Amino acid sequence: MDQPPIPAAAWDAAIDLRLPGRDSAAVIRTLRARAAAARYKDIGFPAAIDIDYTPVLDVFRELYNNVGDALASTPQGFAHTVELERQVVHWFADLFGLPAGDRWGYVTTGGTEANQAALLTARRRFPDALVYFSHAAHYSIEKITDILGVATNVVLVDEDARGEMDYGHLHQLVTRHRDRPAIVVATAGTTMCEAVDDTTRIQQILDDCGITQRFIHVDAALAGTALAIDGLLQLGPDSPVNSVATSGHKFYGTPVSCGVVLMADSARLARGRHVAYTATLDTTIAGSRSGQAAVLLWHAINEYGVDGHRHRAAAARAVAEYAVHRLTMIGWPAWRHERAFTVVLATPPAAVLERGWNLSRDGARSHLITMPGITMDQVDAFVADLAEVLERSTVVPRQRRRPELVWRAAVNGEDSLLAQ
């Protein structure tokens, strides 16, 4: 842990297949060793590391292709895992409160495809709608509006200092465009702060403005499962939310990126074309889809169940709370939203990051994320490094006596104060 990091050039040489004597197994061993060496200090990106997937890794020995609609069709032959995918979709649909007789979804390649599948439905329903989302929305949302040909309909909404949608601004914007249908993309777990946009308030604003042609999608890539378990994010007839996208490699830490899109079956206009040669219904964004991804998610669900995942979320939140406490105790500004795994902190001095800590950084503001599997021990080691650098620094201790200055710099993106 305290050994100096291996220089990047040494790793590059070790994985260069053109060098003599390299075989692919050796290269893979090196790649894994490189990732393992960095893992302890990799606390900035949201991937759980506590679930053991080795019992199902044999499924990677052959191709399993879940082409086509997961619920309404089955690929020919047996080189697929659609039965398990169906179980996954139903498990998520139950979790998010979709009625048994009116649900649709599938296992996607990740959060982006899940968002795209949902927004495709929204656009089909309301082709002339304006698409509202906040500056804090994930970059995939803007890209998707481009792919769907509705980039010119985008209306960007301000975010508040803690990353949540500014509802006053949304109200103003919707009021200005009350003659247009609205697609609103809320985020449940924004990338930087893990803020959760309030869909009840969004619904209220649309009601106030008399917008009946509406579609509310929630990008819940990060926080979807944990909030659904808490009963705070639901689909179904009593919910303002029309669709949800969530991720598999974040909270579940699947070793392959994947996600799940969910909505009421009745929300969809297009039922999909039957493709004769695959004997499936074409309703998904991707054609061929990874049968392995479905198996991995199924394994995570099967091994833990709702209670197990509730426990994982609670334990991870406790580590996040601990991190806020430890950082605050050394005078370094840090906070988190109530249920978040994400701890937002003023960007530490470069000397801390040079010790190998991989935080996610956005100017003067950074975050660490205590996804399941990140330990208090790692938090302690990070805080100890930060404290040591602060003790040695001639610049930063002054800032520590004025934490409100550091924090203002962090919120306003004033890099200069924190960079030394």
Ligand X SMILES: Cc1ncc(COP(=O)(O)O)c(C=O)c1O
* Chain residues that interact with ligand X, rule: CB under 6 A: 110-112, 115, 138, 140, 187, 189, 191, 219, 221-222, 247, 257, 259
Tokens for 230, please give them.
């808490």
Q: Which is nearer to ligand X, 138 or 309 (CB)?
A: 138
Residue 320 near residue 336, CB atoms below 8 Å = yes
DSSP E strands in 112-195: the ranges are: 130-134, 154-157, 182-187
Q: Alpha-carbon distance 169 to 209, whole Å?
A: 13
Q: Which is nearer to ligand X, 74 or 292 (CB)?
A: 292
DSSP 64-81: -B--S-TTT---SSSS--
Residue 350 Cβ vs ligand X, minimum distance, rounded to whole Å: 25
Q: Which is nearer to ligand X, 341 or 382 (CB)?
A: 341
Residue 367 near residue 411, CB atoms below 8 Å = no
Q: Which is nearer to ligand X, 222 or 353 (CB)?
A: 222
- Relative to beta strand 259-263, strand 243-247 is antiparallel
Residue 149 near residue 97, CB atoms below 8 Å = no
Residue 315 Cβ vs ligand X, minimum distance, rounded to whole Å: 21
Provide the sign of the torsion angle of the four alpha carbons 42, 43, 44, 48, taken in this order. positive
Tokens for 100, please give them.
């048994």
DSSP E strands in 30-119: the ranges are: 104-108
Q: Which is nearer to ligand X, 171 or 250 (CB)?
A: 250
Q: Alpha-carbon distance 255 to 247, whole Å?
A: 12
List Cβ neighbours of 391 (8 Å cut-off, separation of 6 or more). 397
Residue 137 Cβ vs ligand X, minimum distance, rounded to whole Å: 7
Q: Which is nearer to ligand X, 82 or 218 (CB)?
A: 218
Q: Which is nearer to ligand X, 162 or 180 (CB)?
A: 162
Which of these, 201, 258, 255, lies nearest to 224 by C-alpha position?
Answer: 258
Residue 356 near residue 302, CB atoms below 8 Å = no
**Length of the chain in terms of residues written:** 420
Residue 339 Cβ vs ligand X, minimum distance, rounded to whole Å: 15
Instruction: Count CB atoms within 10 A of the CB of residue 83.
Output: 12
Q: Which is nearer to ligand X, 112 or 239 (CB)?
A: 112
Residue 132 Cβ vs ligand X, minimum distance, rounded to whole Å: 16
Q: Alpha-carbon distance 409 to 53, whole Å?
A: 42
Residue 286 near residue 259, CB atoms below 8 Å = no
Residue 276 Cβ vs ligand X, minimum distance, rounded to whole Å: 31
Residue 85 Cβ vs ligand X, minimum distance, rounded to whole Å: 17
Q: Which is nearer to ligand X, 112 or 199 (CB)?
A: 112
Q: Which is nearer to ligand X, 89 or 221 (CB)?
A: 221
Q: For tokens 């070793």, what's the residue?
A: 255
Q: Which is nearer to ligand X, 289 or 326 (CB)?
A: 289
Interhelix angle 291-329/82-95, rounded to 10 degrees, is 40
Residue 141 Cβ vs ligand X, minimum distance, rounded to whole Å: 7
User: How is the chain split among helix, strand and coil, in percent rounded to 5?
Assistant: 45, 15, 40
Residue 255 Cβ vs ligand X, minimum distance, rounded to whole Å: 14
Residue 7 Cβ vs ligand X, minimum distance, rounded to whole Å: 28
Residue 142 Cβ vs ligand X, minimum distance, rounded to whole Å: 11
Radius of gyration of the chain (CA): 23
Strand order of the β-sheet with 334-335 is 334-335, 342-346, 365-369, 360-362
